[in-house]
Structure 1
Amino acid sequence: MHSLALSASLAMGLFTASGIAQCSRDLLIAATESLLAAQTEGTADTLSPLAESVTYLEQFKAADLATGILSTPVAVEFNRSLHDTTQCATYTEMIAPGGAHPYVLGTQMHLTPEGAITNISTLVTDQGDWLFNATGTFYWASREAWDVIPEDQRDSREVIQAAADAYADIFNDKSVTVPWGSPCARLEGGAYTGSGSASDRCDVGIPNGVALVNRRYVIDETIGAVDVFIDFASLPDSHEFRVEGGKIRFVHTLTVMA
């Protein structure tokens, strides 16, 4: 970045002392609203504002915006977005249980401090992917409460990420202590470990000896949430967590099998 541009950015408060870019929440909300509109209509060219150079990935591999999932109309019936003002990043979960082709999508985007989208990475899950059932996903996701947490009760970014990391680490090391909430429910594909009761648990059916690596985080302290894009062994995967009082309350996973 040229010194003049850097000075202007500092003057607008777009960088912290550690050099991490900062974005306004309104800017990030506008970006996720644009993503939802483009995905619903199947008009990738209406996604804005795009940077001059944009990296686009599907299933963690380079893809073409013009021919990828964003060019396909998807009947999204449920969505939730995380807005990470520290990293200028977003995550959007999109569930389409109806129509000719059901999908569950997860998209991370990264933006410049000024709001231009520079990176879009989408996991596309449909029939044949791990426990895929868009109807079940919609049913359970739409019943969970991911409300805004009062400011004086919010966990820090570090606490939220640490909870996600502990969960990911236990897949390869059963000695790790995970801050399980009580209740806690995991939505894995369309399968749910809970029933909406006080006895719901997430610490069931966890394999051993599986490394979850190359983690990319989007954290939103306002709703106590973090999404992590992960290489689940060799599979493209997303794990999204709701953390309340340092404890894991909800987990949503997407795993691409192809």
Structure 2
Amino acid sequence: MLLPKPLLSPLLPLLPLLTSLPTLAQQTRCQWSTLRSATDQVLESLTAGITGTTAAGGILLASPSLIYTQNSVALSIASPDSVLSAPLDVAFAHSIVDQDGCAGFVRIVVLPSSDGEGGGKGVLVIGAQIFYNYTFNQGTTVRQIDLVFAREGDWQMPEGLNATALLGHVAGEDWGALSRARQDSRAVLEGVAGTYLDFVGGTVNSDGNGTGTDSEAAVAVPWGRPCSRLEGSVYTAVGDAESCEKGLSPMGGTAQGITGRQFVVDESIGAVSVLARDGKLGGAPGVFEFRVVEGKLRYVHQFAATGLARMDD
């Protein structure tokens, strides 16, 4: 007597394929135009001043469950302690977008206005990484903002700094789009940034046994020529035949490191933003941004919140 054949689901042969497919969230790569528009809206909201009772927050207050950190401390974005609680007198703004990370980054210079707002006591430099959620039903919403600001009195930000000179340095840089042939991959861009951070943080100057030298570490960094470096408000520009290495003082094997690195990458302009903690500055939260062209460093920006001061201090 022949037994009946078991009934097989018509989907059974497809199960290996279906289970190997990435999730929809993994498949989604945020559109450049959507990210650009959202980041522009965030920048507008940041500069307008945010409170919980006004519409100035725009896209930020419309985003449910927004996570906001300021100098590595979690707080409400509309809190009186937030640097964003009052309108900012923005003298310079720069932003990038990261399609793979569904993220953006803004770097701004804020001057104190005549009424004492918009920067309060002196010049501010602000860097903020913005992370988005995207759904077909809700569109783009802001999931998280991690912001670091430094002001006069912080590392390389002397009291009474020359704001005109600072603005001249940042406004004179070229962060324009690169042709496809000159663009580097995300892996290359993150690698260049990481090598620089290893060098200045001391990580690669020691392998745990006291070996390794600063000169060996410096060789690993793909220095561009020309290249310029802006640390706080201190600008180092070298000749066309020299690199950004000039004037750097790495940690000489102490290996305190630059840790907790969080990247936002824009391949179209060769930009890499990094938020991290700087061991040589006592673990202060800091912002780095690099421009990399054809695998070589062109611009290096860095500032750090060494004072960790509140806005009303």
Q: TM-score per shorter chain, which class?
A: 0.7 to 0.9
What is the CA distance between 1:217 and its match in structure 2? Answer: 0.1
| Superposition deviation, residue 255 in structure 1 | 0.5
Q: Give the equivalent residue in structure 1 for 2:49.
A: 42
Q: After the TM superposition, which of the residue ranges 220-229 and 93-102 deviates more from structure 2?
A: 93-102
CA-based RMSD of the aligned residues comes to: 2.2
* Residue type of the alignment partner of 1:167: Y
Structure 2 distance, partners of 1:20, 1:185, is: 38
Q: Structure 2 residue aligned with 1:66, among 55, 75, 78? A: 78
Report how far residue 20 of structure 1 moved. Answer: 6.3
SS in 2 for 1:149: coil
Consecutive unaligned residues in structure 1, runs of 5 or more: 1-6
Q: Which structure: greater strand fraction? A: 1
Residue of structure 2 equivalent to 1:249: 298
Q: Is the 8 A contact 1:83 1:89 kept in 2?
A: yes
Q: Please give the secondary structure, in 2, of the residue aligned with 1:65.
A: coil
Aligned to 1:118: 143
Misfit runs of 4+, over 3 Å = none
Given residue 154 of structure 1, which amino acid in structure 2 is its aligned partner? Answer: Q
2:152 maps to a residue whose letter is Q
CA separation in 2, counterparts of 1:199 and 1:238? 27
Q: Is 2:284 aligned against 1:235?
A: yes
Between the two proteins, the alignment pairs up a number of residues equal to 245
Give the TM-score taking structure 1 as reference length.
Answer: 0.88
Alpha-carbon shift at residue 21 of structure 1 (Å): 4.5
CA contact (8 A) 1:39 1:72 kept: no
CA separation in 1, counterparts of 2:242 and 2:142? 39
Structure 2 residue identity aligned to 1:192 = Y
Alpha-carbon distance, 1:96 to partner: 1.6
Q: Describe how 1:1-258 pairs up with structure 2 within 5 A.
A: 15=25, 19=26, 21-43=28-50, 46-48=57-59, 50-67=62-79, 68-99=82-113, 100=116, 101=120, 102-114=123-135, 115-132=140-157, 133=161, 135=163, 136-170=165-199, 171-172=201-202, 173=204, 174=214, 175-176=216-217, 177-194=220-237, 197-199=239-241, 201-203=243-245, 204-208=247-251, 209=254, 210-233=256-279, 234-258=283-307
Query: Under a length normalisation based on structure 2, what TM-score does the superposition of the two structures give?
Result: 0.73
C-alpha separation in 2, matches of 1:228 and 1:20: 24
Q: Extract unaligned runs of 5+ from structure 2.
A: 1-17, 205-213, 308-313
The answer as to whether partners of 1:14 and 1:113 remain within 8 angstroms in 2 is no
- The structure with the larger Rg is 2
Cα 1:112–1:134 change in 2 (3 A) is farther
Amino acid at match of 2:299: F
Alpha-carbon separation, structure 2, partners of 1:134 and 1:41: 25
